[in-house]
Amino acid sequence: MILYNKKSREQLIKELEEEPFMRITFSFYRYVYLDHPQEFRDQLFVEWSALQCKGRIYLAHEGINAQISVPEQNLEAFLQGLQNHTELANMPIKYAVEDDGKSFFKLTLKVRPKIVADGLNDHAYDVTNVGLHLEPEEFHEHVAGGKAIVIDMRNHYESEIGRFENAFCPDADTFRQAIDLVVKEFEHKKDEKILLYCTGGIRCEKASAYLKHHGFNDVNQLHGGIIAYAHDIKQKGLHSKFVGKNFVFDQRLGETIDGQVIAHCHQCGALCDTHTNCANDDCHLLFIQCPNCKVEYNGCCSNDCKEIIALPIEEQRKLRVLRHEKYAASKIFKSRLRPHLMKALNEQTHPI
């Protein structure tokens, strides 16, 4: 029995585009001990392949973290299937805010050491001693009150395109960098009310426990994350305190929450919040690019990459080793932006 995808990317995308039905995109996670994550992974792959699911799912001994799309006609069967597993029963589901059904083109299930790569030593603190979970409306009221410290627990490339009003957004590439910056920044405010938020809530579980371990006394987190907040305020007719777009880790790379654009193209500085990956596959840098620059740079992050993809494939291969040696340290856009460009963009961007 085949327990992994064997089709090419091109074939999978073509099949997705030709599907005659709609898909529903959603996410879920749970910290729950899995005795045999590899066996559980294989079992889920068989079940979810039969339902034509696509998505990216991580499993570890500590639990499951899933982003997935399911054919509309198979959604009920999928949800019932979750109930058949004790570890997944009564799972809170967070449906996408914007959904064209094209979020994933294949089904990927991987077993990893952790369901979120947080860089923390879980044995150094009590990971179960988490902060108080606030429902979206409660969180909304605290943000509106303006007295609490609001902290974005996502990476800088996520908060750049959307964030809560007056939030502290760590200038970090990783979760570990972000949480250490938070502890340092608010060391003298451990008795004040802290409001943490992230995409779906999973990073705040570890972050809140880590802050409590470091002596923060009033730690709260947005239950269900930005995704749950967007749905709830829309249903209740509230004015969003989250401004801009929510970054998501699938083909869409973002879903708008309030329709505002607060980020800028990394090449010309024009208002834009569309992330893309550099068209040069040996670079594949994640950055923000406006339509005009997409044409000018042929979908690339720089003139260097634009020149490389214009070369014959054999010439590109000769350059590959040299390029990997030069840029092996990072694939995140910030570390690759020229300092003068970052300075120019910072001068144009006003914090919310």
Q: Give the N- to C-terminal CA distance of the chain in Å, as an integer.
A: 52
CA distance 246 to 67: 15
Beta-sheet pairing, 218-222 with 132-134? parallel
DSSP structure string for 18-72: H-SS-EEEEEEEEE---S-HHHHHHHHHHHHHHTT-EEEEEEETTEEEEEEEEEG
Active-site hit among 53, 169, 198, 300:
198
Cα 266 from Cα 303, distance rounded (Å): 13
Active site residue 198: yes
Closest CA to 197 of 164, 168, 225: 225
Name the H helices within 122-279. 136-145, 156-159, 175-185, 202-213, 225-236
- SS3 label, residue 167: coil
**Among all residues, which ones are annotated catalytic?**
198
